[in-house]
Amino acid sequence: MHSPQTIFDYSELKAKVKNTKLARLVAVVPDTFLAQINHGDFPAWKQVLDALPELSPQSFELDQELRVGSAEQLNDAGRGDLKNLLLGLQPWRKGPINLFGLDIDTEWHSDWKWDRLKNKISSLSGRKVLDVGCGNGYHCWRMAGAGAELVIGVDPHLLFSMQYWAIRHFLKEPSVYVLPLSLEAVPDKLEAFDTVFSMGVLYHRRSPIDHLYALKDCLRKGGELVLETLVIEGERGMSLVPEERYARMPNVWFLPTCATLESWLLKAGYKNIRLIDVAVTSVDEQRSTQWMKFESLPQALNKQDPSITIEGLPAPKRAIFIAEK
Q: How far is CA 178 from CA 117, 135, 141, in A?
A: 21, 8, 10
Closest of 325, 324, 322, 323 to residue 119, by C-alpha? 322
Q: Give the N- to C-terminal CA distance of the chain in Å, as an integer.
A: 44
Q: Which residues make up each annotated binding site for carboxy-S-adenosyl-L-methionine?
A: 94, 108, 113, 133, 183-184, 199, 203, 318
Element (H, E) at 273: strand 271-280
Axis-axis angle for helices 208-218, 258-267 (nearest 10): 50
- Three-state DSSP class for residue 21: coil
Q: What are phi and psi of 5, to 5 degrees?
A: -80, -15
- Three-state DSSP class for residue 160: helix
| Residue type for position 34 | L
Query: Distance between CA atoms of 28 and 83, rounded to whole angstroms?
Result: 34
Q: Which residues make up each annotated binding site?
A: 94, 108, 113, 133, 183-184, 199, 203, 318
Mark residue 170 as left, alpha or beta (left: phi above 0; alpha: psi -120 to 50; beta: remaining): alpha
| Residue type for position 144 | A
